[in-house]
Structure 1
Amino acid sequence: MNLIDRVRAVLPPKYRELAKFLVVGGTSWVIDTVIFTILSHTVLAEKVVTAKALSILVSTIFSYIANREWSFNQRGGRERHHEAMLFFLVNGLALGLNLIPLAMSRYLFGFNLDNYSQFGVSIADFISANVVGTIVGMAFRYWAYRRFVFPDELAAVSTDSPSTDTPEPLEDGSTGASSR
């Protein structure tokens, strides 16, 4: 039995979706962190908020594909373009939430190269952008994905509702459809 089968055997079905979301989120976090670290220590060293915005954008594209095809593949029922629009709208809001701790660290609390060493600023940036910001953004994303982007209600409606193509028979045996 492989690791995934063991996890499925132990994990109740209602938590499997959360586990998948966390795996996708962890992978997205690694993508985000690597890109942010490279950009903020090279070409965007003076513009760390821009570096973080770009790294989040790249990891968000990965996240959409992985969440749609794996984490929330049993949900939804929306047309793909509508779902993608909602996903990126939610992630745009989450991007703002994610950037707030980094911006506060840099501009409100003064954790910048004028006041601290490069090592101290790097640690402050990492904690504010990749720990605090990620936790805030992740909590919002999980709630919003389940509520708006991949709602369970749409899956239930699309599979449980009777088809409107065939009219229900009436008591007298007719379908009630008018014949013209």
Structure 2
Amino acid sequence: MSVVDQVLMHVPRAYRNVALRHRELIKFGVVGATTFFIDTAIFYVLKLTVLAPKPVTAKVIAVLVATVVSYVLNREWSFKERGGRERHHEASLYFLFSGIGVGLYAAPLWISRYVFDLQEPFTSRLVEEIADFTAGQIIGLLVGMAFRWWAFRRWVFPDELNPKH
């Protein structure tokens, strides 16, 4: 019995049925939460040290590292039952759509900083940090995650290529 199955045994039956129907989405969410922490840690380490004057660059690097981890976890766990493409083709599509996702993740932070000028000296350091977190770690994450969920299921790990289904 897998770890997921063991956890599901402790979930009330009504919720268990919903969780089973949306198993891929829940796994995708767990991978997303894991890579969110990786992304956030790398972003803030870079932004508060060597890339202090370049927060968007720090964000792009953080998302790229998190994306590599995400590919491995999604391929081996979230979408394990899907796909069927050769690995190099699958990985190419994954990183293509993830590249688009990087732009979607970084766009709200770029808009916050350079369109709305939510940065010093135009605002306080506290407002800058709140705006950076909101734009880069919440809005960017939600937009990028929604796009990637759709693209991965549709193009990278399509169900119709899997002969088991």
Counterparts of residues 23-38 of structure 1 (less than 5 Å): 23-38=30-45
The one of 11, 15, 19 aligned to 2:22: 15
Matched with 2:96 is 89
* Separation in 2, partners of 1:65, 1:48: 26
Unaligned runs of 5+ in 2: none
* Separation in 2, partners of 1:123, 1:149: 34
* Separation in 2, partners of 1:8, 1:142: 27
Matched with 1:110 is 117
Which is greater in Rg? Answer: 1
Kept in 2, the 8 Å contact 1:39–1:45? The answer is yes
How many residues of Structure 1 are paired with residues of Structure 2 in the alignment?
158
Counterparts of residues 7-86 of structure 1 (less than 5 Å): 7=11, 10-12=16-18, 13-86=20-93
Matched with 2:138 is 131
Matched with 1:3 is 7
Q: What's the offset of the Cα at 1:7?
A: 4.5
Higher helix share: 2
Task: Tell me the C-alpha RMSD between the 2 structures.
Answer: 1.7
Q: What's the offset of the Cα at 1:112?
A: 1.0
Q: What's the offset of the Cα at 1:120?
A: 1.5
* Separation in 1, partners of 2:130, 2:122: 14
Normalising by the residue count of structure 1, what TM-score does the alignment of the two structures yield? 0.83
Matched with 2:154 is 147
Identity fraction in percent:
51
Kept in 2, the 8 Å contact 1:32–1:59? The answer is yes
Matched with 1:176 is none
Normalising by the residue count of structure 2, what TM-score does the alignment of the two structures yield? 0.90
* Separation in 2, partners of 1:30, 1:89: 22
Kept in 2, the 8 Å contact 1:8–1:16? The answer is no
Unaligned runs of 5+ in 1: 161-180
> Which consecutive segments of 4 or more residues in structure 1 shift more than 4 A?
none
User: Helix, strand or coil: the match of 2:9?
Assistant: helix
The letter of the residue matching 2:57 is T
The letter of the residue matching 2:9 is D
